[in-house]
Chains A and B, each alone.
Chain A
Amino acid sequence: MVHKDVLKVVDDMRIRQMRGGTVVTHAALSALRVAALKTKATSSKQFLAELRENVKYLLKIRAASIPLANSLRFVMVDVQQAADHGAFIKELQDIVSNSARHFDRMLEDSIREIAQIGARRIKEGDVIMTHSYSSSVIAILKKAHEQHKRPKVFVTETRPELEGRDVARELAAEGIDVTLIIDSAVSHFIDDSDKVLIGAEAVAANGAIVNKIGTATIAAVAQRARVRVYAAASTYKFSPETMLGELIEIEERDPSYVLGHSKMNKLPRFHVRNPAFDVTSPQDIDLIITERGVIPPQAAIMIVREQKGVSIS
């Protein structure tokens, strides 16, 4: 029985209320906590089964969100271990709560650390180009601004959901110099930019970055213009699955996001494709900023191997 809070989170993810992998993860953990607290299960076994159902449902919707997968894995491992030792429902509920909160904190700490490390990479007056919504990137830019480095930021609107506008709003609220542009205008402004700074939904074992559609194109443009591309990603974004040779599944979303419902109905004669993410190859990434330090994409395998140690049943 999937809890209604979990259903709501998944719906929000679908209906574009969610911004970025980190935000999604926080929301999912929150919903899971509530689901655990409000359980109607009468035995630990039932509780576990219910929890697993909720977790499966969450994972189904956002295939590319590795921090989500990692966080749920983190919680499940703790809960499973306790259940194996004969814990009662009340104890299991506490474990879900504490474990989820623990992961939340780790995620927040990692972003704070990334902000510190990333801000060091930003020079006075740097012009930075960014794409889509990333909590890590926003944190870095805010930090750099706090340090009086006065970065100027180009924010791509990021079709189809236009989450770039949210990024612009947040940065402007801090007093950061922000300019909103359409995604296509990246080539035009790349020569005025000092760096491209993007987030990541997932980092693969070979250092490739899965991120919002358009990232691969922007990285290519930057490479061609000899502008450095930095990806900010906490280690929870590194994906153990890719080590086993699995290709990260790119979800294709509802075409009505591209065309709008009314237009879709009026013009049925052409197709619309709306892949949500793309893969930026490691050659187009110069640096990955993690909470443990800065690494070249080639070193991603080292972090991925560590993540592998925490496996889900």
Chain B
Amino acid sequence: MRIRGAGQIASSAVEALQMAAQNSQAEDIESFVNQLSDAARILLQTRPTAVSLPNGIRYVIHRVNRAKGKATSVTELKLVASKAADEFIELTETAVHRIGEIGAKRIRDGDVVLTHCNSNAAISVMATAWRQGRKFEVYATETRPRFQGRLTARALATVGIPVTLILDDSVRYFMQDVDKVLVGADAITANGALVNKVGTSMVALAAHEVNVKVSVAAESYKFSPETMIGELVEIEERDPSEVISEKELKQLGRVKVRNPSFDVTPPEFIDAIITERGIIPPLGAMLILQEVFGVLTPEELLEYQTYRIDET
């Protein structure tokens, strides 16, 4: 389950890559780069379906490759690798806080904000706005099957924000009272689609129908070039026991259960994505990817190909 957040998984992997770089015995630049690539490949196997992990690895490798041409020694490249690793690790530690500060400006006094699931980035935005003195209230969907929305409700209530817990599918009913929707992200695809907890696209659609803007709070390492187009993302299906216990299921007779973990919200339902680097429109996803992780060569893309998103 959610033992560690996406950022932590990525930073652990990057730390390991950093160590591999520092401990390398390579004598020349080419060997060093090859060794590093090998280490990267091994690390990618550890959590092949977490979006943030390949991004972290890519962050380091991209900078090493960029410096490769001008570097005169292995030591120099080691330094580049180490520095890049430190930068990324720091990013994972500060991104959520930064997103809170940037996103808080979008919440106004008197707003009714609707949120889904349990996202640190989204909570950060709301908590920051509240601390800055904005007065607003939140509707939080309970978020089946694991009721993660209750965690969100509790976290917000603890800060002092008035929160109302509602059923996932009552969003259409309440949408007329809502001013804005704010959700987190498990992944943003290259075409700006949002992969997030199942039910998100339903929320976004209901918002779209009544012209309520949907904002997504997403750290830059959630942007995933492997998921070229949202619709191609293979959605992980989890244990049916999250929906109904084995015993209760047996009592129903021959009934199947399907439990998709995520769904895909198309870019046209998203108004803005709040990243630690600023606010971008969904179609600006490629910009973030290029700036932060570099342009992927086809070979790299094939290598890092993960079309499944894992819940971290």
Closest CB-CB distance, B15 to chain A, in whole Å?
Answer: 36
CB-CB < 8 A to A258: which residues of B? 142, 165-167
B interface size (C-beta, 8 A): 47
Query: How far is A179 from B156 in the complex, measured between Cα atoms in Å?
Result: 35
> Once the chains bind, are A180 and B255 in contact (CB under 8 Å)?
yes
Per-position contact with A for B268-298: 1 when CB-CB < 8 Å, else 0? 0000000000000000000000000000000
- The CA-CA distance from A259 to B166 in the complex, in Å, is 10
A271-B255 Cα distance, complex, nearest whole Å: 35
Give the CA-CA distance A159 to B172 in the complex, in Å: 15
- A159–B147 alpha-carbon span in the complex (Å): 12
The proximity string for B residues 154-195 relative to A, scoring 1 for CB distances below 8 Å and 0 otherwise, is 101110001111111111111000000000000000000000
Given A159-B142, A185-B260, also A221-B163 (CB < 8 A): no
Q: Is the CB of B172 within 8 A of A220?
A: yes
Assess whether B258 is in contact with A278, with CB atoms less than 8 Å apart: no
Q: Does B49 contact A (CB under 8 A)?
A: no
Interface assignment of A194: CB less than 8 Å from any CB of chain B? no
B169 contacts A172, CB within 8 Å? no
Closest Cβ of chain B: how far from A137's Cβ, in Å? 16
Q: What sequence of 0s and 1s flags, for each residue 74-89 of chain A, a beta carbon within 8 Å of any chain B beta carbon?
A: 0000000000000000
Q: Do the beta carbons of B248 and A271 come within 8 Å of each other?
A: no
State the CA gap A206–B238 with chains docked (Å). Answer: 42
Shortest CB-to-CB span from A104 to chain B, Å, is 28
Q: How far is the CB of B165 from chain A (nearest CB, A)?
A: 5
Of the residues A177, A180, A274, contact of B243 by C-beta under 8 Å: A180
Stretch at the interface among B51-59, B202-210, B218-226, B303-311: B202-210
- The digit string for A263-276, where 1 denotes a CB below 8 A from any CB of B, is 10001011111110
A214 within 8 A of B: yes
* Closest A residue, CB atoms, query B269: A224
Residues in B neighbouring A221, C-beta threshold 8 A? 202, 205
Taking each of B157, B209, B255, which has the highest tally of chain A beta carbons within 10 Å of its own beta carbon?
A: B255
- Report which of B172, B198, B252, B263 forms a contact with A216, defined as CB distance below 8 A: B172
On whether A269 and B157 interact (CB within 8 A), knowing A157-B244, A165-B244, A172-B254, the answer reads yes
Q: A159-B142, A271-B165 are in contact. Are A179 and B258 (CB under 8 A)?
A: yes
Compute the total of residue contacts between A and B using a CB distance below 8 Å.
156
B130-169, CB under 8 A of A: which get 1 and which 0? 0000000000101111000010011011100011111111
Contact in complex: B198, A184 (CB < 8 Å): yes
B70 at the interface (CB under 8 A from A): no
Which chain B residues lie closer than 8 Å to A175 at the CB level? 254
Contact assessment for A179 and B167 in the assembled complex, using a CB-CB cutoff below 8 Å: no
Contact A220 B206 (CB under 8 A): yes
Report B29 CB to chain A, min CB distance, Å: 48
User: For the complex, what is the distance from the CA of A44 to the CA of B80, rounded to whole Å?
Assistant: 98
B46 within 8 A of A: no
- Assess whether B69 is interfacial by the CB under 8 Å rule: no
For B255, the chain A residues whose CB sits under 8 A away are 168-169, 172, 178-180
Name the CB-closest residue of A to B145. A182
Cα A173 to Cα B251 with chains together (Å): 11
- Distance of B179 from chain A, by nearest CB (Å): 17
Query: A201 at the A/B interface (Cβ < 8 Å)?
Result: no
Q: Given the complex, which residues of B lie within 8 Å of A159, measured CB to CB?
A: 142, 144, 167-169
Give Cα A218 to B205, complex, Å. Answer: 10
A159-B142, A189-B258 are known contacts. Are A184 and B173 too (CB-CB below 8 A)? no
Cross-interface CB contact of B202 among A157, A187, A274, cutoff 8 Å:
A187
Chain B residues within CB distance 8 Å of chain A:
140, 142-145, 150, 153-154, 156-158, 162-174, 198-199, 201-202, 205-206, 209, 235, 243-244, 248-249, 251-260, 263
9 residue pairs bridging A and B, Cβ less than 8 Å apart: A169-B253, A179-B256, A181-B243, A184-B168, A184-B169, A184-B263, A187-B205, A270-B164, A275-B170
Known: A214-B169, A217-B169. 4 other contacts (CB 8 A): A157-B144, A159-B169, A180-B244, A275-B173
User: What 9 pairs across the A-B complex have the smallest Cβ distances?
Assistant: A184-B199, A214-B169, A269-B157, A172-B253, A217-B172, A270-B163, A183-B169, A216-B172, A271-B164
